[in-house]
Amino acid sequence: MFGFEVLQELKPNDEILEIIKNYYYTVRNGKIKHLKSTNLQFIEPTEYLIVYPYTLTIYEYKVNEIANKSFYIKEHKQKYNLKEIKQILIKLNI
């Protein structure tokens, strides 16, 4: 059977948590897992699920050095950087 070993827990971003503190939300920590008996690694992103007043799912991946856009909004189907995510969340708060 295949087994996974958790190499690292990915913590939520404090800046995003500060912005979404006025919303109803849940956060699920990300993980970097290693598939035992192989050299494969899997990354589960940190998930911010805002449920009220808007429904928005934001995934935060470990930094991609090439694009530097480590956030993905499921509903928009687009990648963003931290500055763009902050602007989107602040606009929703108005």
How high is the pLDDT of residue 70? 87
| pLDDT above 70: residue 67 | no
How high is the pLDDT of residue 28? 95
SS (H, E, C) 56-93: EEEEECCCCCCCCCCEEECCCCEEECHHHHHHHHHHHH
How high is the pLDDT of residue 37? 86
Q: How far apart are CA 87 and CA 85, in angstroms?
A: 5
Chain segment 22-54, per-residue pLDDT in tens: 889 999 999 999 998 888 888 899 999 999 888
| pLDDT above 70: residue 88 | yes
> Looking at per-residue confidence, does 93 or 70 come out higher?
70
